[in-house]
Amino acid sequence: QVQLVESGGESVQAGGSLRLSCAASGISFSINTMGWYRQAPGNQQRELVAAVGSGGIANYADSVKGRFTIFRDKNTVYLQMSNLKPDDTAVYYCNGRGSAYNYWGQGTQVTVSS
């Protein structure tokens, strides 16, 4: 059974930093694309924050460019978040996907206070 397990969510003050981690288990191959999505309070949709392919090419939401960095080591993906803002408050979900699969973690809460 494939599992994505996130960690690192906390409550921080604006301007602070956090690193989220997500480790995949129960999978024997390299996940094609790993990424982070977030769902803010009151929003029904998850938005892409950042994603990175197996070759290391990353893409970011405009709202986090220059502040967040995504990187991976095999099937573990990290999100380094700096200069956090209250608008970054959300549940952050790890995602691993390919042409025939799409896995989600359970989510980790990030709360940024002003």
Each residue's pLDDT tens digit in the chain (114 positions)? 899 999 999 999 999 999 999 999 999 999 999 999 999 999 999 999 999 998 889 999 999 999 999 999 999 999 999 999 999 999 999 999 999 999 999 999 999 999
Give the pLDDT of residue 56. Answer: 87
Give the pLDDT of residue 32. Answer: 96
Q: For residues 24 and 43, what is the distance between their CA atoms, to the nearest angstrom?
A: 27
**Contact indicator for 80, 64 with CB cutoff of 8 Å:** no
Distances, alpha carbon 101 to alpha carbons 23, 29, 32, 54, 59, in Å: 16, 12, 10, 15, 20
